[in-house]
């Protein structure tokens, strides 16, 4: 996050209105909610995990056991069960 002096971007009227609530402090202004991204969307982690989980479901449906999937994907059998039985 980059520090920006309010006087360089806001009109004087807005600065005076903000000063009614706080003076000389640092204020964080968040992005609008519509521009927020879910976890892993920027890095690709979400897509990777969705693909991995789908692969686990397909392998289970074709007869691979939970113990084998656990070894193959280095996950606990509990985690494999959660992936297999969760609603997508």
pLDDT digits (tens, 9 = 90+) for 41-75: 889 899 999 999 999 999 999 999 999 999 999 99
User: What does pTM read for this prediction?
Assistant: 0.60
**Tokens 């690709």, located at residue:** 44
Does 33 map to a domain? yes
Does 81 map to a domain? yes
Number of domains in the chain: 1
Does 1 map to a domain? no
Tell me which residue range forms the domain holding 11: 6-85
User: Crossing angle, helix 77-85 and helix 66-73, to 10 degrees?
Assistant: 110
Does 25 map to a domain? yes
**The token pair that represents 81 in the structure block:** 């069960």
pLDDT digits (tens, 9 = 90+) for 6-30: 899 999 999 999 999 988 888 888 8
**The token pair that represents 53 in the structure block:** 């989980």
């Amino acid at each position: 996050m980059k520090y920006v002096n309010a006087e360089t971007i806001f009109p004087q009227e807005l600065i005076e209105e903000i000063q009614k609530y706080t003076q000389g402090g640092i204020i964080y202004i968040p992005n609008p909610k519509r521009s927020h991204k879910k976890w892993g969307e920027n890095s690709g982690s979400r897509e990777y995990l969705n693909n991995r989980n789908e692969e686990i479901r397909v392998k289970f449906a074709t007869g691979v056991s939970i113990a084998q999937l656990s070894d193959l994907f280095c996950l606990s059998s509990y985690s494999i069960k959660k992936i297999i039985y969760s609603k997508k």
